[in-house]
Amino acid sequence: MYWIDLRSDTVTQPTMAMRQAMKDAIVGDDVYGDDPTVNQLEAMAARRMGKEAALFVVSGTMGNQLAVMTHTTPGQEIISNRNCHIIHYECGSPARLSGVGYALTDRDDGTVTAEDVIRLKRPEHDAHFPATGLVCVENALCNGTVVPMDLLRRTCGTAHDNHIPVHLDGARIFNAALALGVDAAEIAACADSVMFCISKGLCAPVGSLLCGTKEFIEKARANRKALGGGMRQAGVIAACGVVALEDMVERLKEDHDNAKYLGGRLNEIPGIYADMDRIQINMVFWKTDIKGFTSPGFVDFMDKKGAKVYGILADEYRFVTSHDTPRRSLDQVVQLIREYIHTL
């Protein structure tokens, strides 16, 4: 039995209000458009993002890949960062499912700039090259930071000036909005389509929303069916999304505050270094140069104490705060790390 899980905010448990909403949900056949709870969630999501329509999908990956599939045609190329989720963590799906190639920027910070778009876009009407079909950007980024609004606007504006649509992977767009001090719709306005997750910090057990124009979502709905993503009485899970959007967005500040608190506590331990400037949402990345401190040993020690943590990611560790990681439990984690170091 684990009393804390810091691996990700995807491990959050549905709240009691969500469990009750699942029980009471009015449902219908979503493929026929007959599920009132799904329809309610999609309407709420579209309003939140300032878009005309939305589509409920089972995961962020499905939402992103539906966007690529809907915006592009096989043989085209998409511009993105090599470290973004769509490229790095989605099983090569743009190539496998949509038949598109990649034109990638190597920026270590995870961004795509206006200059990247100009440099990587293909010449128009030249049979030698694939057509540039889409620019994919991300906010918040996989590395736990956020993209400033001026940079995002310039990138997306340059894409649009060159008649290239933009998709925004906004899996944690509400975290990004909180960090930037703007409304999520302001971020989403930069792109033609946006996907956000309700299954991370918002605590719903499953699901994401893809938002865009009515025409775009109509096409995406057909593509969802082609991928086997048509759901029937999906209102049972959509009900949790309704609660997530009504009750869980504003409380994300607690997760951000706890991440900063945890980073500060980690820095109290000699030999452990958390970059406080990088703690912009609910992710804490940290490194250690303590002799004998090994990833397998650390993970095993914490596991035996009832705490789930990831091993080392490249050259650093990551903790993610969420609704299920109250501050008092973070103090216990810090104490456990001290105990592990004492065993070395």
Which whole number is the average pLDDT over 206-219?
A: 98
Percent residues over pLDDT 90 in the chain: 97
Q: With contact defined as beta carbons under 8 Å apart, do 307 and 4 qualify? A: yes
Whether residue 180 is predicted with pLDDT greater than 80 in this model: the reply is yes
- Residue-level pLDDT at 314: 87
Q: In what order do the strands lie in the sheet with 53-57?
A: 53-57, 208-212, 193-197, 166-169, 132-138, 77-81, 101-105
Whether residue 1 is predicted with pLDDT greater than 90 in this model: the reply is no
| Per-residue model confidence as pLDDT tens digits over 116-140 | 999 999 998 889 999 999 999 999 9
Q: With contact defined as beta carbons under 8 Å apart, do 306 and 4 qualify? A: yes
- Residue-level pLDDT at 311: 94
Write the CB contacts of 142 (distance below 8 Å, at least 6 apart in sequence). Answer: 83, 84, 85, 88, 89, 110
Residue 194's alpha-carbon distances to 139, 143, 202, 301, in angstroms, are 10, 19, 17, 40
User: Rounded distance, CA 318 to CA 312, Å?
Assistant: 8
Helix, strand, coil share of the chain (percent; to 5): 45, 15, 40
Which domains are seen in the chain, by residue range? 14-247 (3.40.640.10), 251-343 (3.90.1150.10)
| Per-residue model confidence as pLDDT tens digits over 79-118 | 999 999 999 999 999 999 999 999 999 999 999 999 999 9
User: Rounded distance, CA 193 to CA 179, Å?
Assistant: 21
Q: With contact defined as beta carbons under 8 Å apart, do 159 and 166 qualify? A: yes
The answer to pTM > 0.85 is yes
User: Rounded distance, CA 5 to CA 322, Å?
Assistant: 9
Whether residue 190 is predicted with pLDDT greater than 80 in this model: the reply is yes
Nearest Cα to 196, choosing from 70, 187, 113?
A: 187
Which whole number is the average pLDDT over 193-213?
A: 98
